[in-house]
Structure formats: C-alpha cells, structure tokens
Chains A and B, each alone.
Chain A
Amino acid sequence: MSQIMGQPVTEDADGPAKPLLGIEQLGKRFGGFVALDTVDLAVPQGQRLGLIGPNGSGKSTLVNCISGTLQNETGSVAFNGERVDGMPAHRRARLGLARSFQLPRPFRSMTVAENIRVPLIYTVGARAGFHLTSSELEDRCMEVLSLVALQDKAGKNPFDLTQVEMRKLELARAMAAEPKLLIADESMAGLSHSEVEDIVALLIRMNERGVTIIMIEHIMRAVMAFSQRLVVLVSGRKIADGAPADVIKDEDVVRAYLGT
C-alpha cells in the first residue's frame, strides 16, 4: 500500500538536502508574449505549495514547463537533483513527476480501470524495470481507485462519470504513477462546496504519505485550507512567496487581484 503514494525520503548525507524541485530563471515566450519571465522557485520535499495568480499569469505555462508538456526557453528545471529541461514528458514522469490537467483528459476508448493501468504499466513498470503481472496490475489499480472512491466505477467509460468523478479519475491517474511530486492544475474548478472539500482532503491525505504537492487553484478557500506556502504569479513573474496568511495581505498581491 505504502508504495502507491510516494517513496521514502532519502536525504543526502552531506549538507542540507537539495530541494525536490528547483526552478531557476525560467523563461518562456509565445511569439512576442512573455508567458514566464525569470521565475525562481524551490520546492522542498514534502511541502504543500499553493500557486495562484490571475488568468493568463503563466500558471499553466509553468506547470507545462515543469512537466515537459512545453519546453522552457531560458533558465533551468531540476528535479530531485537532476536537470530535466529538454527531457521529454514521459521521462520526467518516470523520474516521479506527475500532473493532472485543468480540463480532464481521460483516455476515451478505455474504461476507468484501464485508464489507471496506463501509468502503472508505463511509469511504475518502466521505472522498476520489470513488468507487473496482470493480477498485480489489477490489485494496484483497485487500490488507487479506492483512494478516490471510484472502485465501483472501475468498469465504466469515462464519459459516464460525473464532473467530480472525472476530476478524481484525473488525480487518480496521476497518483497511480507513484509520484514524488504531484501538480494539480485547477482540479476543483466548477465543483460544489462539498466536492471541493473532498478533493482538498484527498490531496492532504496524499501529502501525508510523502508526496510533495503543488496545487494551482482559483478557489481561495481551498488554497488557504491546503497550502503551507503560497506563491503568486502575475504576468509571468513571481510577485510573492511565503506563508499563505502573509501573502494574501501583501500589497502587491492585493493590487494584482483587485486593481488599484
């Protein structure tokens, strides 16, 4: 069971442990539009980080550059002490980087259980260097689904799921890869009050098992309940970084959100 949610922390013997995720001077442009402008961010192992910012501030671009969906143009991304920029997304996934998408992207022609099997085969199996047997796959698949309470929907088509179930499937598929770092990109947009609490509780449970989590979210209630540290992006720049309670009182942040 413990394998499902992250690996134990192995600290370097010499000196303080490096951050799990180290982003330095990260830049990304789309034509003349600067989406990310020299962003620095270090995330230590085990942290729950909230990332907020107005629409178009570069949050999703940052996620894409970390996960390898996009390649950054300047700066560097290091994961677990290893440079990962330039590396294709599937290799980053095997190193322990997982993400969910803002709009759920299930594999349409597969059942819920088969969706979960994909990262088990291609990330967990490939990382371990051996193939899981079909009964092992089945067991792990049901374990992951029971974490998000989708075990009864295992044989269903993703299209038969409700909106919140679809989001849970998206998170479950990311979790099945046994990540060290999970990035949840607006996994609560459009959900009801109780559903949001459901997902926040789920993310905190995962964090307690040792998974470092970056949560991108607009719903401030969820952000405040979840985050140990809060980072604010505006126009591709990091304008605040610190304890959530301090950050939301920060003048720049208030100005960015409310205008002057």
Chain B
Amino acid sequence: MRTPLFTSILILIAAALYMAFRYLGNDYLFFAGYVVLQYIVIATAWNILGGYCGYVNFGSAGFFAIGVYCTIFFYNIGQSPGDVFPDFMLTPMGWIFPLPLPILIVLGGFFAGLVGLGMGYLTLRLRGVFFAIATLALAVVLETFVVNWPFVGGSRGAYVIPPENIPVFGTFIQYLFVLMLLLVVLALAAARLIERSRLGVGFATIRDDELAAETCGVPTLRLKLVATAVSGALFGMAGAPFPFYIGYVEPNSAFNLSYAVNAIAMPMIGGTTTWIGPMIGALLLSTLQQVVTVTISSAANLLITGLLLIGFVILAPKGLVGLWQGWTGRSAKP
C-alpha cells in the first residue's frame, strides 16, 4: 500500500473514531481516549530509535517534558508579554502571541528533535546499557534544569488555563482529542514510511550489526542522528498539548517515570519491528490502565505494566506481532 493511500485510510479511521465518540456524547471518553492516543504517539516515537535501531532510550520522559515545558514557556510569554519584550516590540508580539496550539505542537516537536539530535551526537559512541544510562541521565539533567527555572514555574509548577469552549469542536477536550488523533496519524504514517524505505533498511542494519553496516556503506552515524531527532520530535509533539489537557504541570508529573516505563513496555508488548506493534501495545496497555484506574486503583497502573512487561520479555520477546506471525506462519511485514 502506498503511503498516501495508507495515510488517507488512517485519517478516515480517525474521523470515524471521533464521530463515534461524539455520537456517544460523553466527555469522559475524550479524556480517557486522549491518554491512549498520547501513548500511541509515545510508543511509536520510542520504537523508531529503540525498535528499529536497537538503541534503548530510558529518557522518554525527558523528551516528553521538553514538549510540555516548551508549551509552558510560550504560554507564559503570551500571558505577560510586557515582562519579556521591550515596549516597541509589544504590538507586533501581540499579533503573534498567544500562540495557537498546533504551532505549539510544532515548536515542541522542533525543540525536542533538536535535543534528540544533540543527545545523538553526545552519546553516539555508547552502546547497549551505557546508552540507556546516558538517556536516563539526560532526563535527570533536564528535570533539574526545569526545577531551577522560575519562568516555567520551577518546582512549584505552572498553570495553563484552557479555553472553556472552542468553535466547531465544542468542548476544548474534543479539540485536544482531534489534535492528538492527527498526531497519531502522523506518527504511524512516519513510522511505516521509515520501515519501508531505505532508511528503515539502514536502521535495521544498525540494530543487527553496526560494524558490518559501516562496511556495507551505511552511514551509521548520520542514520542514528536521524533516528534520535525523529524520535525526539515525536515525543515532544506528544508532550506539547499536555499542559492544556492537565491544566497544571509540575516537574514531577511531566518527568514522570510512567512515561519512560510505558514507552518501553508498550512497543515490547506489541512488537518492536513493525509500526503496528507499538500501536497495539499502547492501545491494549493504556486502555487497560485507564480501566484499572477507574475500577481498581490508580496505583496499580505501573504494577500491571511491569508485570506484563516481564511476562512478555520472558514468554514472547517478539511481542504480540511476533506471536501472531508465529501462529499464522508468516514472517512478512503486515
């Protein structure tokens, strides 16, 4: 299937999903659905570096938080432009700020992608567990940085007041939901495109054997930088609308361990070698977490994720997609 056709089908499915949720008319569905969709983007973002290239990123929460705090930063500028700009610039800046949410998403993606690129440069000599430790350290450094930056709220946190209602969509959560749906379409289309392109072949050679890849002419350094940048950008885009969703952000919630754990667990459970695996993992795990939060307890979330992750790593290391391919005797990509 060609990419434009695939993307069109994804958009149709997304539209149908939105209409169905609207028809049911319950705002809670949108609240819960937003989180599930957000995790599809996060799982796909992780998988581009972790699944395709084999570089395990434990700093997912850091990249997600870059998107979150990028939004806070520009939102705060919009709230009090007088504190930031000299007087003569206030009028032109008044036309620009406050920035609309889609622009904030693009900015969040841009800055997180930039940090991803930087991280790629700094850690390119590290492999395996050392790379994982470095990414974890990056998240800690970023969190410390944010905690000590009063403009974005520091450790006190920052408020973002979402508008009550919005034209066309009605409630603001519906607007957020639709934006996240579009991000899911973007992430899945990008992941599938990469997987089927020369880039995907190059990524797979890096995962299998970096030394052999180089001697086959694969510019491994450049490809790794592409992977860290694209993966980081998707994380940032997933994080950018989050302040509007949650209303109040503090470092602990933006840099939460659950993002790092889920970002790894979801692709692992779904299957890391195809675009569909992280999506299935995110759909299942995130929906399960939403149900558990309501029915049992919100604390059981990560416990369930952890247990499932251990179970899958031991019993089905290729995830659900691997199990499916085993049953149907197919190894071809879906």
Co-complex (A, B):
yes
Contacts of B217 in A (CB 8 A): 90, 93-94, 118-119, 122-123, 126, 177
B179 at the A/B interface (Cβ < 8 Å)?
no
A65 nearest CB across to chain B (Å): 13
| B204 A107 Cβ-Cβ under 8 A | yes
Contact mask B42-82 → A, CB, 8 Å, 1/0?
00000000000000000000000000000000000000000
B192 nearest CB across to chain A (Å): 17
Per DSSP, are chain A's interface residues mostly helix, strand or loop, or mixed? Answer: helix
| B220 A90 Cβ-Cβ under 8 A | yes
- Give chain A interface residues in 47-68, CB to chain B under 8 Å: 67-68
B168 nearest CB across to chain A (Å): 42
Compute how far the CA of A99 lies from the CA of B213 in the bound complex, rounded to whole angstroms. 12
| A90 B209 Cβ-Cβ under 8 A | no
B214 at the A/B interface (Cβ < 8 Å)?
yes
- Give chain B interface residues in 206-223, CB to chain A under 8 Å: 207-209, 211-221
A131 at the A/B interface (Cβ < 8 Å)?
yes
B202 at the A/B interface (Cβ < 8 Å)?
yes
B10 at the A/B interface (Cβ < 8 Å)?
no
Nearest opposing residue in chain B for A100, CB measure: B215
A81 nearest CB across to chain B (Å): 20
Per DSSP, are chain B's interface residues mostly helix, strand or loop, or mixed? Answer: helix
Contacts of B216 in A (CB 8 A): 90, 93, 118-119, 122-123, 173, 177
Contacts of B220 in A (CB 8 A): 90
B178 nearest CB across to chain A (Å): 37
B1 nearest CB across to chain A (Å): 15
Question: A88-B219, A90-B218, A90-B219 are known contacts. Are A121 and B201 too (CB-CB below 8 A)?
Answer: yes
Compute how far the CA of A90 lies from the CA of B210 in the bound complex, rounded to whole angstroms. 11
A4 nearest CB across to chain B (Å): 15
Compute how far the CA of A98 lies from the CA of B212 in the bound complex, rounded to whole angstroms. 11
| A88 B215 Cβ-Cβ under 8 A | no
Compute how far the CA of A69 lies from the CA of B221 in the bound complex, rounded to whole angstroms. 13
| A118 B205 Cβ-Cβ under 8 A | yes
B273 at the A/B interface (Cβ < 8 Å)?
yes
Compute how far the CA of A64 lies from the CA of B212 in the bound complex, rounded to whole angstroms. 12
B198 at the A/B interface (Cβ < 8 Å)?
yes
Contacts of B204 in A (CB 8 A): 107, 109-110
| B207 A88 Cβ-Cβ under 8 A | no
Question: A90-B219, A90-B220, A122-B202 are known contacts. Are A68 and B208 too (CB-CB below 8 A)?
Answer: no
Nearest opposing residue in chain B for A116, CB measure: B216
| B211 A69 Cβ-Cβ under 8 A | yes
Compute how far the CA of A105 lies from the CA of B273 in the bound complex, rounded to whole angstroms. 20
Residues of B participating in the A interface, judged by any CB pair closer than 8 Å: 198, 201-202, 204-205, 207-209, 211-221, 273
5 smallest CB-CB distances across A and B, nearest first, come from: A123-B217, A89-B214, A122-B217, A107-B208, A93-B217
Beyond A108-B209, A118-B201, A123-B216, list 15 extra A-B contacts (CB 8 Å).
A68-B215, A90-B219, A93-B217, A98-B215, A105-B211, A107-B205, A109-B204, A109-B273, A117-B201, A118-B216, A119-B216, A121-B198, A121-B202, A122-B217, A126-B217
6 pairs, A vs B, C-beta closer than 8 Å: A90-B214, A90-B216, A98-B215, A101-B211, A106-B212, A131-B198
